[in-house]
Structure 1
């Protein structure tokens, strides 16, 4: 299990390379949900998501031989962007493998940063290819099955614990589980009374299925949220969620897109469905916990283009 000392060490390591993002009360979201809401605006992070933290923590740990060989990562978008940009900043050659469903802008940003981008038909194929490239000598920077990466993501929770007003319930999105594993470890150490809720979208339910099965399992993927679409979680992230998280909630893609529009209107931030899904889940938490709850939201990323969101809004007739 990742400990608070691991996360504090990661925070020291990556300081100066990443931003301490704002943690702010949101009057707009408080009015929308009917309870006080505090938002950790990680979509303002370098590269547009929390992924820069874990990628930087891993890159700074490389030996000279590993730096010379170069690194490789698999990504639905945000991890690839983060690795490409941060590797370029640290003068490390990077290869990023993405499925065809990854946002076009994510592919463009990774290439513009200087990374070699390999495209596969689906996420399963992306994970297979990245394993082959690792076996050929590249150093794998896994998005969620690496203690250094998880500790890096945990610095989000460390900052939230230090900067947020009193909260009772914190919601965190789950893809492969690296963010929630790190955040949960930090919050359990710093704010042990807080309930932590995971959020997935339908068709990207790797953690929910793992909890039902008693361990990581492969799942079919169909969600529009490519940044949550991990074909399986890791034993590392499963262990943290099963031990530290109150429950994992699952919301439809339609509601996640509605959440993006609500975040734009009420919080004045432009988020992707992986963050938009937090709002419908927060409504569930308020209904179950009651009006005395105080909600914290980790707004994890904003790497969706206006065209993407409008296309999804048209698909689900949300205008």
Structure 2
């Protein structure tokens, strides 16, 4: 497991390459939920999500030979965008493998940044193709199963701990678990009394399944939220969550989409369902606890309006 010293070293390494995103009290969300809410706005990060942090940290850690070989990554959208943009800025050739369910905008942005995009039938097939390319000589930049990436994602939590006022509970979305592993590492060191909650969507429950099983295992994916749809978590992220996170909550896709609309209306934030899922999870926590002061890691904003409107129409029907 990584430690706070790894997160602090990552912060020094990526400084100047990424944005120290705002940490703000949200009057709109506080009114909506009835408790003080503070949001960490990673949707304002370069490339529109926290993924830029881990991508550039990994790229900066590579040897000249590894960079020359080019890099490859599998992604439901945001990791691919982050790697494509950061690799382009550093002059490294990148290939991004995405499932067919990935947002069209993610493919377009990755290609416009200079990356080669390969589309696989589903996320399991995308991981398999990525492994083939790695064996063929490309340097893998894994979206979550890498201590360098996890430490860099943890800089989100380091900044949150330094910039937020009083917090009792922090909610973080989980796909493969890299973000929550890093954030929890930072918060346990800097805010040891804070409760940390992971949030997944139904049909993308790799971490919940791992916790129930006593270790990672493959899961069937059916969630619309491609950016949370890891076919399995890693042993590394599982251990971090098992040791550092209070609990993992699972919410329906329909509630995650409702959360996107609530974030737009009440917080004036255009977020994606991977962040929208935090609001229904927060309501569950508030139903059981008093005196809560919420922190939300708004992880990304790369959702096309047409997609969000289509999801809203689908779930209203």
TM-score in terms of structure 2 length: 1.00
Aligned partners of 1:240, 1:62: CA distance in 2, in Å? 24
The superposition leaves residues 182-220 of structure 1 with CA deviations (integer Å, 9 ceiling, x where unpaired) of 000000000000000000000000000000000000000
Give distance in 2, aligned partners of 1:269 and 1:172.
Answer: 17
Match of 1:305 in 2: 304
Q: Is 2:25 aligned against 1:25?
A: yes
Specify the alignment match of 2:288 in structure 1: 288
Q: Where in structure 2 are there 5+ consecutive unaligned residues?
A: none
Q: Give 2:62's aligned residue.
A: 62
Distance in structure 1 (CA, Å) of the matches to 2:271 and 2:62? 32
| Equivalent-residue separation in structure 2 for 1:198 and 1:315 (angstroms) | 26
- Alignment-derived partner of residue 157 in structure 1: 157
Deviation, 1:285, is: 0.9
1:74 aligns with 2:77: no
Q: Which residue of 2 aligns with 1:218?
A: 218
CA RMSD of aligned residues (A): 0.6
CA shift for structure 1 position 289? 1.6
CA distance in 1, matches of 2:23, 2:283: 20
Aligned to 2:112: 112
Deviation of 1:142 after TM superposition, in Å, equals: 0.2
1:317 equivalent in alignment to 2:316: yes
Separation in 2, partners of 1:288, 1:222: 29
> Pairwise mapping of residues 1-319 of structure 1 onto structure 2 (< 5 A)?
1-290=1-290, 292-317=291-316
SS in 1 for 2:224: coil
For residue 288 of structure 2, give the secondary structure of its aligned residue in structure 1. Answer: helix
- Secondary structure of 2:316's aligned partner: coil
Structure 1: gaps (5+ residues):
none
TM-score (norm 1): 0.99
Distance in 2, Cα, partners of 1:87 & 1:282: 36
Structure 1 residue ranges, 4+ long, deviating more than 4 angstroms after superposition = none
What's the CA shift string for 1:152-189, capped at 9, x where partnerless?
Answer: 00000000000000000000000000000000000000
Cα distance in 2, alignment partners of residues 165 and 268 from structure 1: 21
Question: Is the partner of 2:96 in helix, strand or coil?
Answer: strand
Q: Provide the rounded CA distance (Å) in 1 between the counterparts of 2:273 and 2:51.
A: 16
